[in-house]
Structure 1
Amino acid sequence: MSQWLSAARVLEENTKEGNYFEAQSGIYALRRVQTLLETTFPQMMFLLGEPGSGKSFMLHHLKRLYEKKRLCVLIENPFLSPAQLLQRLLSCAGITATSHDVEALRLQAVEAYTGVDHLIMLDEAQLMSAQLREFVRILSDSKVFYFLIAMHQREGEEMLSLAHFHSRPHQVIYLGDLQPSECVPYLAKELQSVGFFNVEALLGKRLMEEAWRYSRGNFRNFKKCFYHLFLLLDYAQTHQKKEFLKPSLVLLRMAAIRARVLASELNTDDFDQLLHEARRKSGGKHKALVASLVMVVGMGAVWYYTHTALFSPHAKREKSLGVEYVAPSSEVELKTHEETFSSEPLHVKDEALPMEPLVEEQTQAIATQEAEEIAQEEIIKEEIIKEETIKVEHNTASVLQNPNLPPPTSLPKTIRILPFRGVSTATGLDEQY
């Protein structure tokens, strides 16, 4: 038998094995149970945890610890009726059942366990029917029995939320998952019997971290990953696959797929098919990682340019805004220029110019524009005055003459007739003539 195959057999599921690893959550749960047994009155205690968190290991470990101190009853398979439970309790206490009636058996069990240090542990209690759970609660109400009930966390919390359970005295103990820092000590303790004394050097820190990530800290899934990894290593050694004679991340992914820890449609033990599936998934992951890195680098470059190259006070060149203005030469160009200048954005000048000269140039340009506008208005006013001026040509017929006077020696000069404002004799109103 190869060393890899021996390591795989050590990691086979075996809750009765005495090599119990005291993880942080396990130590807390164990101390809590011990405290409740020694300081409180008999009541129900619930050990809750996710599937594979080590509840069954905890119950077997408690039995090994207390079997010499008190009467320990461990029922791993759910019983089918209240009578079966009572008969089992009487049998463990060394008493023969005298009746098949449930009430008579209950009274006999209460009498047998009164004043006796004991611990009754029920595993996989989530498989019990609602009727049997209610019967256990009734037995607990007698204040005689210490019940430690192990069940899945979700089902346990749902049951305890019911009024007839929530109102009764009970204690809840949670069993957590394996922590990343506990992976190496846990695996070293499991494999020390087959000569694996330096697990981290043999498997590598990176591989241990990936195994924890695949299993999400679940004890059962973590062991399954390495169980199948050692089987694959044994296969590679016996079939001369030189590329896979040592533990690697590819082999670990193959083991996780084979153990159904990683989701995959492939359900086979064939080495080559597992290798193809592992590389395919790993390639997709690497492509996604590269794409993410490219995007992050691109966003970082944009951020650096906008926040450092443009707006940093320590930049070598300052970017200043300058308005380029060209004075129009005619009224049409003036109108066109004003429409264009109001609609177009400011032109950014790339010269590293000081701010004061730019302000002076802008002020001069605005002053020049205002002066030209005033001159243009004066020209327009003069043209309007010329148009309103009335010229009267010399005409002898329009000149009033006195018949008693001699005719003039020269023609009258051109005169300007201004409007006269007076009162009309016909209407009596103020009119303009």
Structure 2
Amino acid sequence: MPAPRYKQLVDRFAEQIRSGALPPGTRLPTHRTLAKEEHLALATASRVYAELESMGLISAEVGRGTFVRETRVSPGQGIDQSPTAPDMLDLNFNHPELPEQTELLRTALRQLAASGDLDALLHYQPHAGRPHERAIVAEHLSTRGLAVTAEQLMLVSGAQHGLAVALMSTLRAGDVIAADALTYPGFKAIAQLLHLEVLAIPAGKAGPDLMALDALCQHRKIRALYCMPTLHNPLGWVMPRAQRKKLAALARQHDLLLIEDAAYAFLADAPPPPLYNFAPERTLYVSGFSKSVATGLRVGYLVAPINRVASLQRTIRATTWNTPALLTRITCSWISDGTVQQLEQQKRSDAAARQQLARRVLHGLPWQGHPNAYFLWLRLPATVRAEQVVSALLQRNVSVSSAAPFVVGEHTPQAIRLALGSLDITRLESALYQVRAVLEAAECGALG
């Protein structure tokens, strides 16, 4: 028995896409044109495209059309995957590291081996961390303008775990949370896992559009807002103090829980006080030491109003029981002897140098970013498709991310994010010149 007509069309398109007969970025006929050409009902033509989209082979964009995706790249354009090829130039995933960090770890392990009370590290720890270590991290946060008690601070297994704990303990399946229209992919992954509905807030000049947020809150029951007020990923903004005050007032007006992600906040020079300071009774502050020290050092922290701590601790208990004692011991030792502060300062300088290099190589292109950020957002010309750029760069052994992993809502801008923190400076410069060459070829229509 032959397959239904629409299935035959799906198979034909799929074969053409996978064989390269329909290359990435190709605009497909409109639904009506396809229906007319293939003598189909409009609903059947729409069904063909819906199935191809569910297979990850095409993408539909409101007001622009339907386009072939790059099938050799994962649907998320690889933002959560490190390149597998040994010669790949990685502008996709950030793991900033300084040359001396390996020796710092070697020294720390020797000192730990010579210290007393090693037996304590073999035992279960308190769910929120040992009290004296919580106090050390709280004191560290005071240097960033965040004055909290050790009782308000919980140690977690990295900022991603802290974010998961914050969402799991405060929201339930079906709850609505707002977020920037472009936001951190790790947040999106947790929200999807927890079956939360995420609504997009468009961007203003230096932060979310608060008028749009207010209007949205008047029409929907929004429980929380996820935001990155200090060094936003991927756009690099730092929300001004006045806007933070307005956001705090808006949160009180609509009874919003604020979840403040400060993973990259250490890179900003003299930023405004954390959003937490403007609404401490309704803000959860999440960060960690993965970016400021090392990505393999899975130690983070979660700060909360005291009345929420017990619930958050129960979620920590249910997910990891406690942070690994060995890692928290090393981290707190490095905080106490000034190593963390030194690394943060060095990484600010390192990120600034990489940012300056990127801006020099990409001069004249429409980039957006913070002067100290380890990433840069690059808008593409209206005639250039992100999938084409990603594909062409992969052929040159350069890995980048399209806008897709960062998008909340339906509109996916044609843009790429460049991670600047994973290559040595010479290879970074080479990779950036490759990006420029591909973009210039794409604008001239030379990518095919």
TM band (smaller chain) = under 0.3
**Larger Rg over CA atoms:** 1
Q: Quick check: which one's helix share is greater?
A: 1
Q: More relative contact order in 1 or in 2 (CA 8 Å, sep 6+)?
A: 2
TM-score, length of structure 1 as denominator length: 0.23
Structure number with higher strand proportion: 2
Superposition TM-score, scaled by structure 2 size: 0.22
